[in-house]
Amino acid sequence: MSHTVLVTGGAGFIGSNFVRLALGTRPEWHVVNLDKLTYAGNPANLADLEGSPRYTFVHGDICDGELVHGLFQRYRIRTVVHFAAESHVDRSIAGPDAFISTNVGGTFTLLEAARRAWLGEAHEDCRFLHVSTDEVFGSLGPDGFFTETTAYAPRSPYSASKAASDHLARAWFHTYGLPVLLTNCSNNYGPYQFPEKLIPLILNNARLGRALPVYGDGQNVRDWLYVGDHCEAILRVLDAGRPGESYNIGGHNEKKNLEIVELLCDLLDRKVAPLPGGAPRRTLITFVRDRQGHDRRYAIDAGRIRRELGWTPRFTFEQGIEQTVDWYLSHQSWLDGVLDGSYQKYYEGMYGRR
């Protein structure tokens, strides 16, 4: 029997990887993808699925209560996987409004629609998985890891809006018994990531011989996970996670930003034609003014999901990054397609030299 899953933000980076994995591994699923197609949403990410009877794309806003409620009724939604968000910290600093309306207001709208649709029904086969970030926990010193019990301490408009949405999701579980699950994941990388985020930004600039902006001293540490591993973890949590609980997801791959940039330069020097004059791509590295309130270090303890649900990442960082570089190099038309004029304007306004 068909099981209808509402995926929000499925035209974005992680959402599109998730939809493809889900439809490839869950033959009984019908995925309804609700996406507003902001600058970060690209229907071309799922062009191969258009026309599939198991895939329906709905162009709309998660803040539109009437639309969202109608989707629950029309498709008898039993599972929600909620990715839709404004997701870029720099944009949240420049203009926080959309982060509050989508990340907080949109999550509220979805929770309410699920509550109204599922209220009074047996909840056994219903799941609302709220996808969140490790950034809600704030910034770590040189030691220690975020666990599921780490106190929330968000420090950017983005992370504060995600923290607020996490609190709403938990409240709907405790107050109304909505079968909510939460995941807090570290930094993802992989195919279809919009080239404002570190890895595709650097790859794109390095292939074009442009300056490679690195914030501050480049020593900020992030914990990197291949997007396919994140998507598998989400499926695992949907299958076996306990409602009301949250699960940290990460790859134990801590890297300094500068290390990542240098690694990408070296990989490109190996894989594509040298720069004019033969200079190594590391010479393009340009230190720029640090991000306001830049968190120093994130690191996830993913022990719980490993112990309780048996999930571990498949890809080492070395495997995942090599695969990612190859994907971007063989999809340069995808990169060119998303880099339209509006992105350029934003980009130029963002990265002043230090």
Residues binding ligand NAD (CB under 6 A):
8-9, 11-15, 34-38, 40-41, 61-63, 83-87, 102, 106, 131-133, 162, 185, 187-188, 194
What are the CB-based long-range contacts (under 8 Å, 24+) for 151-155? 155/293, 155/295
Q: 298 — phi, psi (to 5°)?
A: -120, 140
Catalytic position from the list 61, 86, 134, 295: 134
Stated as kind and residue range, the H or E segment containing 330 is helix 317-330
Please tell me which residue in 55, 158, 226, 328 is annotated as part of the active site. Answer: 158
* 35, 61, 86, 135: the active-site residue: 135
Six token digits for residue 315: 């890809």
* CB of 33 vs ligand NAD, minimal distance in Å: 9
Catalytic, 55? Answer no
- Cα–chain center distance at 71: 23
- Nearer Cβ to ligand NAD (18/118): 18
Q: Which of 117/233 has CB closer to ligand NAD?
A: 233
Query: CA 130, CA 239: separation in Å to the nearest integer?
Result: 14
CB closer to ligand NAD, 196 vs 284? 196
Total residues belonging to the chain:
354
Comparison of 99 and 173: residue with beta carbon closer to ligand NAD: 99
- Pick 136 or 206: Cβ nearer ligand NAD: 136
- Smallest gap from Cβ 274 to ligand NAD, in A, equals 31
CB of residue 247 to ligand NAD, shortest distance in Å: 12
Burial of 35 (0-12, 13-18, 19+ CB in 10 A): buried
Q: Based on CB atoms, which residue is closest to ligand NAD, 281 or 311?
A: 311
Q: 135 an active-site residue?
A: yes
DSSP 258-320: HHHHHHHHHHHHHHSPPPGGG--GGGGEEEEPPPTT---B--B--HHHHHHH----S--HHHH
Q: Which two tokens stand for residue 242?
A: 């306990």
Active site residue 112: no
Q: Of all residues in this chain, which one has the CB nearest to ligand NAD in the complex? A: 12
Q: What minimum distance in Å lies between the beta carbon of 246 and ligand NAD?
A: 12
Query: First and final CA of the chain: distance in angstroms?
Result: 58
Contact 46, 10 (CB under 8 A): yes
Nearest distance, CB of residue 142 and ligand NAD, angstroms: 22
Question: Nearest approach, Cβ of 275 to ligand NAD (angstroms)?
Answer: 29
Supply the residues annotated as catalytic: 134-135, 158
